[in-house]
């Protein structure tokens, strides 16, 4: 993934309002992220437990997705559906995202089990274990 700016991140969100995108917490360490090892930028919001964000590169720019997850969930070993890494003690959580457009306004969402720290790219490449 190529490095991205805070402005690009905020403009990329497809399933939340511009106001919500403006208020979300963007990582302060964008300059030091291992961009060459990332397939997507993912982070949890330290100020809002249960909130996380993904920004994915696409052919025509970036697509940002606001996610929610339940904190304090089951503490058993589970596998991430994205990178196939297993984690114990709640390290994998069900991340859900409101759908974009009319479906999202009607309350429809989708979800999958992912690493709670959203470091799937690094787990898949094995710099983290």
What tens digit of pLDDT does each residue of 14-26 get?
999 999 999 999 9
Confidence band of 128 (pLDDT split at 50, 70, 90): low
Instruction: Give residue-wise pLDDT tens across range 49-74.
Output: 999 999 999 999 999 999 999 887 66
User: What share of the chain in percent tops pLDDT 90?
Assistant: 75
Q: Above 60 in pLDDT, residue 8?
A: yes
Please state whether 78 falls in left (phi above 0), alpha (psi between -120 and 50) or beta: beta
Chain CA centroid to CA 65, Å = 7
């Amino acid at each position: 993934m190529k490095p991205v700016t805070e402005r690009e991140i905020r403009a990329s969100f497809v399933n939340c309002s511009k106001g919500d995108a403006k208020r979300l917490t963007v990582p302060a360490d964008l300059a030091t992220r291992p961009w060459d090892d990332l397939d997507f930028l993912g982070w949890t919001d330290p100020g809002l437990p249960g909130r996380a964000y993904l920004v994915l590169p696409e052919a025509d720019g970036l697509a940002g997705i606001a996610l929610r997850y339940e904190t304090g969930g089951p503490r058993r070993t589970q596998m991430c559906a994205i990178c196939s890494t297993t984690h114990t003690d709640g390290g994998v959580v069900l991340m859900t995202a409101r759908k974009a457009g009319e479906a999202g306004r009607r309350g429809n969402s989708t979800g999958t089990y992912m690493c709670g720290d959203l470091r799937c790219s690094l787990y898949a490449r094995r710099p983290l274990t």
